[in-house]
Structure 1
């Protein structure tokens, strides 16, 4: 008998969880595959973690089970299995069998019963069991030999007896009684009305079991005690339904659950049919022979040659190879994720797939082996890293560029960034970190940083990690980076538009962002301090007002106390409680209340957020000596191509409120310089005119009309000269609202009109601008047909829920399909502008630097005597980056601070 645990996998949970958690992927022929892909990824993760010798994947049978005969309501209220999910069960089973893993499904018995039977059988043979599921019913099986893991989340970790008690408040042997008391609406297990988890735990901790509760039923007080005494037949039935039947007719013994060799030909056929190109490309990694009993895996899934370089002769030989290379993958290991603070601990390179080198330079722990001198080693490789003719391949190389700059090295010759390649190919298929890319595209489970460094407060910095695991981790980073590059490059070449977008837009923007981050924007610390003090005074005034209105003191920042004041004390209508039992007091709720207290609290919240996020925090984030703030720009986050920023988030500083403008006043120019702001005017509306080819909209922009006044005149049927400010405001809401798919209900709320009036405005708008209506209809239809839309420059924007049977999801996808080409094209244009402006700054040798990019605006720091020339250059350079059917208008402002410039 093997010493390794038997691994039992709840296949039904895997496929259901993947279906509802992941995007609905499908093949070109329309065969759904998303749930299969998610389930296989989770299975691969589990196999890599445990290397099981004995394993089974268990599914529920398609028909009724013995529990349906016992209770007509059992699972009767569950919605039917969606057709596109039903179609994925058989392909998953075929794939699992081809991987050499037994698949079990027993008519008349749920998967839980089959897993329970096998788990108890293994236990009787003295074998440990790991059950992979998130089904709480399974926790009744847990004991010293049987544990539960969930491969989709680390939230609960491994559920052993102590873990079950910590999670549910009862022991595993009490779970059946717990479920019988609480019930399970999705399974049709009634439980006892009025008994929730807290009551069930309290009763079971006091009485131990349902049998003891029944025997002492007269001691259970209150209405819930009476309900229990009147529900004994129901309780007994619920207990029977909740009990896992551990004697299901399973024909296999433990030896029948041995993992066999994978069937490579079968896997190849399945991967080809399901269009799993990543799995197909790494078939050798997935077609491993089964591990023999009691043996650790003899080799990693992919044959590798990883080397640790600790001698000068080995380093010299490596440098010689790098000098002669056309390109190589490169990755740094550092002391921090903060690019301003990070120092190099070592670096890894890979010149051939499967081979990598780690050069440790600063591992510092008790017993650490001798390493090369860091300064000398970096000086030796500096000419290679700064050589533009030797290509550098990396994952998120903007970070490595910062780190190398901290050591006086300027990284040049960057030819391929795998993070950006993944983002360009499919922005929404996965997150774009290396671990997720390797799993999604290469079907490879990387070693995570937490595995070698630990978690939380005890997590080690890289310099404290022992050399052997550190080297393996670092070499894998470089190797997988090269593998990803080899995977992505042909995909990009197969789509010329995306290839151009990658090489001519995203790759050139990255070093510009790095320069902007390194430069930073100067802050006026005294201004921020004054703002914080003024905001603190105003917040205190608002608290006093809130207490006076409520007639009692309470914590304005506490949603619980606020809810009680609004809906219990003041008895305002519309109070709804959340799952936690407290009233919902979100912004939408407060805005719907016609009461002075709601207005005061909304102002308090907004001000408190600005104070905590900006006026208090900006000085803490800034360099204490230079007073410059160094944000982080994120290129591979928003599906539309928009940049985002963090620490601080520059995109969220409000521009229309007085407080927001005062915060912008704290971003200042140093003596002898000015801030120059260049902003595209109404770019998304101009793009709508271009894309829709609507004659009236094109005319308005071409003639330089105020497009909002023009819309007001058209929709409200008045001459242009008679359009009031109120009419223009309503027209502006219509113009921008329709870009984002706003409904009549939303527009009515926006312009304070009735819903029929708002609907009439929308209908009038479309009658006056029929090209816009045609564009929207055609875009929705195209998105439904091909599953994506495109920007002007070929960026693909997936719209995965466009054909969803869920109306809300489908309508949301339709709105996104209309807006994404507009917002995405605007994002592409501002990036093209950054490249053009950066080139002109260098070409004309201006004493000026790009500082910030926010929405459709670029902010520069410019020497005073060059402001006029730079301003003229900005208008020409930015307006020339795209050829539209309407003018691309650039507005330039100048000031001593950001607010003045904007």
Structure 2
């Protein structure tokens, strides 16, 4: 057992033992002992046992070490307190599922008469020097207060005043009191699900500071005499709903929520809408519920956004104040007795105030108020409306597409199972099964020929099986790793692996696996979500999901349940899936994409002349790069002549036949290098020889040396400032870069990785232009005669989608004003006198898979003509192509 003491001689007793997985004396003194005035003489540091050769020590092995080796030592030394800086050992000692929720607690353990406290490992300070030290302080201060008799569990007694009114009159009186109070209110709800249409309003809480508030039930009705779950049932309490709606109509002070895109989205539907398509109620609810508000989730994001990651849930942000108060049964509130649920709901509101007081000053100090007020808050209005509008679905088409996908899925599995190479894997799997079974059996033994082994077959959804097969049995090179440092088997990696073998059997297996991955992801994620779409009172179906602002480091919008950002865009299934999205009768499903937004932004922000040439001189970007990489192999192409370079992209030109393949070959290395890859990434992804890959890398950086210098200057400044400023002033904190000098042999690879994340955010953050454009456009729509004729459905990457009524005036209005919104570039970072942003508005007809592009500023007659031309082209297509 490795240990460390700090005195000149070993002592007979040590009251505190620090458990760590690696002992570094100076670091332990620096982070755990000296800042907190702990006595070195009473501390012993012991290194925990780690299973050799294993990433994670098994729980049984940890328990055995604690019982057989650690406990005798601690008992002999009269240790009373364990400060545990090894998360896995802490969980084993305390039976806690997670460590972060246990911060600040002093806990018992069944292994001995010790008090146990968790602190993050000192090594994590390097990775996040802003967030980790306060967590260390939280743990050590808890231990110190316990020793002095002043310790209290986090969250104890935070409720200084609470009222839980029950009757209609009591609730009415309290709501009147809230209206009379000269204070803002934090508000939180608990519902019966996460979807607006069946969530209800189980309970609601209001807090006027972080210690005082009320909570009461709306749709939660206790079951009389219930002594076990369910303790309540869902009802629809119309009188209380009316009372609550009237309160919100009258309440004019600021409402503070944590994740307003959920609470208000539910409240609008439940209090102001009569059905899924009640747009009048939706807009009325938006005006009432979003006239004066703050969101502590957005505030926390802006105050803490970092390459080290963000934990923005209320439970995480308020843990130091409210403790671990989560209810295990919160996914089904009927399993929680009403008194407990009301207290839980109230603590959420109190915690919201705590988070506001903690992070709002940070947001102000870091000059993030402007982006909060001008970009984030307006975007929330659109997000709530999009979440309540949904994406229109043709359910009959969904069923047809599911059948087509299932057929492809089954075909891919058959092809994999028929591959002769798979026999070796399945024999290995059977051997492993026999070994594990015999290790558990006491007397009986099985062999590989036993009947139970017949069921042991290759599972294409098993990552370990596929990793073993590809990298151990077939000997393919490991060209990329997962976040957990395991060999990657994602779709892109499988495609790249095809460049590293010529064996036809391996290639056949990889093709089958690629096909399986492509179709299985859709079958297991998007199709179930589509099948659960809700039918509106028009008989049409609508897919509802969530849009998350602040869910990415770059600030751009993400989505979930389902993740619409992952809809196939360029794969063989893209049109098939898009064919499921179709406007209901009397409407058009429409959209607008920014024209090559990421490339234009890169040109505009970096001012790189070779990137700007694509737009000022008319170069084809892929052709320009191909000539830069392999121009010596194209002797008759003049790199300084636009027509000459572009000729390799022109299918009608002789040079296309000679050199067009270079243009195609340039795409993979360009993508890798754009996101800070190296020649090694080109070799891995394209199967390119090293010399050729090095040459491409060098030529790319020569072509875009201005861009490289611009990004380098930004990241070098981040080493000084501790952050990079991206689109609209958003700060992306870089805690690792702030501690190092970039580009030397001593720069940790983690810091270089952080630099890549920050560098990518410099461009990706400008997807916030899509949110800004949506806010500008929908802000006009909601004040226009077309407020009920144009509805936002989704924002995906750099595109916005809408339902527009089948009305030429509405279509023209949408085309005119949404195009103007995407043309905006009134920001010094992206303004240019020649290179302009923009896009074209399109109508998806008969479904999303086919688009009618409407010219900018088109008149009604031009719109009609464009649409009629599209219809004529559809009529010329064979019926079997339209149905494919």
Q: Same fold, TM exceeding 0.5?
A: yes
Aligned to 1:808: 749
Deviation at residue 91 of structure 1 after TM alignment: 4.3
Say yes or no: does 1:466 pair with 2:337: yes
Say yes or no: does 1:658 pair with 2:572: yes
Mapped to 1, the partners of 2:554 and 2:263 lie a distance apart of: 25
Does the aligned pair in 2 maintain the 1:58–1:114 contact within 8 Å?
no
Does the aligned pair in 1 maintain the 2:190–2:203 contact within 8 Å?
yes
Cα 1:350–1:154 change in 2 (3 A) is closer
Mapped to 2, the partners of 1:565 and 1:483 lie a distance apart of: 52
Cα 1:614–1:291 change in 2 (3 A) is same
> 2:202 aligns to what SS in structure 1?
strand
Say yes or no: does 1:358 pair with 2:215: yes
Mapped to 1, the partners of 2:521 and 2:89 lie a distance apart of: 42
Deviation at residue 511 of structure 1 after TM alignment: 2.4
Cα 1:309–1:687 change in 2 (3 A) is same
> 2:224 aligns to what SS in structure 1?
coil
Which residues of structure 1 form unaligned runs of 5+? 1-9, 13-54, 62-77, 162-171, 173-245, 247-253, 260-271, 454-458
Cα 1:806–1:610 change in 2 (3 A) is farther
CA RMSD of aligned residues (A): 4.7
Cα 1:853–1:365 change in 2 (3 A) is same
Does the aligned pair in 2 maintain the 1:509–1:834 contact within 8 Å?
yes
Q: Tell me the alpha carbon deviations over residues 631-674 of structure 1, each in whole angstroms, 9 at most, x when there is no partner.
A: 11122321111222222211112211221221011111112222
Aligned to 1:212: none
Deviation at residue 752 of structure 1 after TM alignment: 5.2
Deviation at residue 448 of structure 1 after TM alignment: 1.1
Aligned to 1:427: 305
**What is the TM-score with the length of structure 1 in the denominator?**
0.68
Aligned to 1:900: 850
Does the aligned pair in 2 maintain the 1:546–1:556 contact within 8 Å?
no
Say yes or no: does 1:398 pair with 2:261: yes
Q: Please, which of 495, 506, 512 is the counterpart of residue 366 of structure 2?
A: 495
> 2:198 aligns to what SS in structure 1?
coil
> 1:309 aligns to what SS in structure 2?
coil
Cα 1:387–1:423 change in 2 (3 A) is farther
Mapped to 2, the partners of 1:517 and 1:822 lie a distance apart of: 27
> 1:648 aligns to what SS in structure 2?
coil
Aligned to 2:873: none
> 1:637 aligns to what SS in structure 2?
coil
Mapped to 2, the partners of 1:546 and 1:106 lie a distance apart of: 57
Say yes or no: does 1:104 pair with 2:47: no
Does the aligned pair in 1 maintain the 2:715–2:759 contact within 8 Å?
yes
Aligned to 1:871: 815
Aligned to 2:176: 320
Aligned to 1:829: 769
Does the aligned pair in 2 maintain the 1:322–1:384 contact within 8 Å?
no
Aligned to 2:802: 860
Mapped to 1, the partners of 2:673 and 2:471 lie a distance apart of: 35
Q: Tell me the alpha carbon deviations over residues 33-58 of structure 1, each in whole angstroms, 9 at most, x when there is no partner.
A: xxxxxxxxxxxxxxxxxxxxxx9642
Aligned to 1:573: 475
Q: Which range moves more in the overlay, 784-793 or 279-288?
A: 279-288
Deviation at residue 80 of structure 1 after TM alignment: 7.8
Does the aligned pair in 2 maintain the 1:388–1:412 contact within 8 Å?
no
Mapped to 2, the partners of 1:837 and 1:512 lie a distance apart of: 10
Which runs of structure 2 are paired with 1:355-394 in the superposition (5 Å)? 355-361=212-218, 362-367=220-225, 374-387=237-250, 389-394=252-257
> 1:550 aligns to what SS in structure 2?
coil
Deviation at residue 96 of structure 1 after TM alignment: 5.1
Mapped to 2, the partners of 1:508 and 1:862 lie a distance apart of: 21
Cα 1:315–1:91 change in 2 (3 A) is same
Deviation at residue 771 of structure 1 after TM alignment: 1.3
Does the aligned pair in 2 maintain the 1:426–1:798 contact within 8 Å?
yes
Deviation at residue 688 of structure 1 after TM alignment: 1.6
Mapped to 1, the partners of 2:518 and 2:294 lie a distance apart of: 42
Deviation at residue 538 of structure 1 after TM alignment: 2.8
Mapped to 2, the partners of 1:773 and 1:460 lie a distance apart of: 49
Does the aligned pair in 2 maintain the 1:106–1:114 contact within 8 Å?
no
Q: Please, which of 828, 836, 857 is the counterpart of residue 887 of structure 1?
A: 836
Aligned to 1:773: 708
Aligned to 2:694: 759
Deviation at residue 887 of structure 1 after TM alignment: 0.8
Deviation at residue 59 of structure 1 after TM alignment: 2.7
Aligned to 1:517: 387
Say yes or no: does 1:408 pair with 2:262: no
Mapped to 2, the partners of 1:96 and 1:529 lie a distance apart of: 64
Does the aligned pair in 1 maintain the 2:19–2:86 contact within 8 Å?
no
Aligned to 2:349: 478
Which runs of structure 2 are paired with 1:307-346 in the superposition (5 Å)? 307-311=163-167, 314-324=170-180, 325-346=182-203
Does the aligned pair in 2 maintain the 1:879–1:890 contact within 8 Å?
yes
Which runs of structure 2 are paired with 1:142-153 in the superposition (5 Å)? 152=99
Aligned to 1:557: 460
> 1:344 aligns to what SS in structure 2?
coil
Alignment size in residue pairs: 701
> 2:568 aligns to what SS in structure 1?
coil
Cα 1:283–1:316 change in 2 (3 A) is farther
Say yes or no: does 1:448 pair with 2:389: no
Say yes or no: does 1:58 pair with 2:17: yes
Aligned to 2:784: 844
Does the aligned pair in 2 maintain the 1:639–1:797 contact within 8 Å?
yes
Q: Which range moves more in the overlay, 412-421 or 313-322?
A: 313-322
Deviation at residue 558 of structure 1 after TM alignment: 5.7
Cα 1:782–1:107 change in 2 (3 A) is closer
Deviation at residue 751 of structure 1 after TM alignment: 5.0
Does the aligned pair in 2 maintain the 1:134–1:149 contact within 8 Å?
no
Cα 1:755–1:299 change in 2 (3 A) is closer
Does the aligned pair in 2 maintain the 1:833–1:877 contact within 8 Å?
yes
Q: Tell me the alpha carbon deviations over residues 74-129 of structure 1, each in whole angstroms, 9 at most, x when there is no partner.
A: xxxx9884xxx94463442245557xx99832499999888644547889xxx9x9
Q: Which range moves more in the overlay, 506-515 or 757-766?
A: 757-766
Q: Please, which of 379, 394, 397 is the counterpart of residue 527 of structure 1?
A: 397
Mapped to 1, the partners of 2:136 and 2:19 lie a distance apart of: 27
Mapped to 2, the partners of 1:287 and 1:551 lie a distance apart of: 62
Which runs of structure 2 are paired with 1:2-41 in the superposition (5 Å)? none
Q: Tell me the alpha carbon deviations over residues 216-235 of structure 1, each in whole angstroms, 9 at most, x when there is no partner.
A: xxxxxxxxxxxxxxxxxxxx
Deviation at residue 531 of structure 1 after TM alignment: 2.0
Mapped to 1, the partners of 2:528 and 2:48 lie a distance apart of: 57
Which residues of structure 2 form unaligned runs of 5+? 5-13, 50-65, 117-128, 273-284, 424-456, 632-636, 638-643, 649-655, 741-745, 854-884
Say yes or no: does 1:746 pair with 2:681: yes
Mapped to 1, the partners of 2:268 and 2:688 lie a distance apart of: 57
Deviation at residue 566 of structure 1 after TM alignment: 6.7
Does the aligned pair in 1 maintain the 2:196–2:270 contact within 8 Å?
no
Does the aligned pair in 2 maintain the 1:505–1:832 contact within 8 Å?
yes
Does the aligned pair in 2 maintain the 1:685–1:736 contact within 8 Å?
no
**What is the TM-score with the length of structure 2 in the denominator?**
0.69
Deviation at residue 520 of structure 1 after TM alignment: 0.9
